[in-house]
Amino acid sequence: METLTIGDFAARSGVAPSALRYYEREGLIRSTRTAGNQRRYERAELRRVAFIRIAQQVGVSLDEIRAALADLPENRTPTRADWAHLSDRWRHRLEEKIALMQRLRDDLSGCIGCGCLSLHRCKLINPDDRLAEEGPGPRILLNPAD
């Protein structure tokens, strides 16, 4: 069994065949065709799908995921090193997301609990008042990259 049918590939990746076809149309994964025009997937494609699903969990759009996957070599099966490289870059995104979540967690009781989210100058939202002129809203809390 060198390659997988779409059904087997779907079963092994946990992604529906319709989604796999969609990913292919969107240029996220690739397949070869049999003489009878049916898709066949290399096992290596499973890594792509796993990566896609993980990235989605982090809240990344398929557009961005496509861009990231574009860094993988086109003409050969990605090596362990290729994946490690990609994974490293994405670990950073994950770290950032984790940091955001932790800040949300830490602020949740404190900031919402005390009602200060309704105050423009809340110290938690706006730790050193740098953003006072940059507009309203829980800017730092929700958008730490500002």
Q: Which residues bind DNA (CB under 7 A)?
A: 5-8, 16-19, 21-23, 31, 34-39, 56, 61-63
For residue 136 the two structure tokens come to 């309203």
The SS3 assignment for 56 reads: helix
- Taking the complex as a whole, the smallest distance from the CB of residue 36 to DNA amounts, in Å, to 2
Strand partners for 33: 39
Classify 77 in phi/psi space as left (phi over 0), alpha (psi -120 to 50) or beta: beta
- Taking the complex as a whole, the smallest distance from the CB of residue 29 to DNA amounts, in Å, to 11
Q: Which residues contact a second copy by CB under 8 A?
A: 11-15, 43-44, 46-47, 50-51, 53-54, 57-59, 80, 83-84, 86-88, 90-91, 94-95, 97-98, 100-102, 104-105, 108-109, 111-115, 117-118, 120, 135-139, 141-142
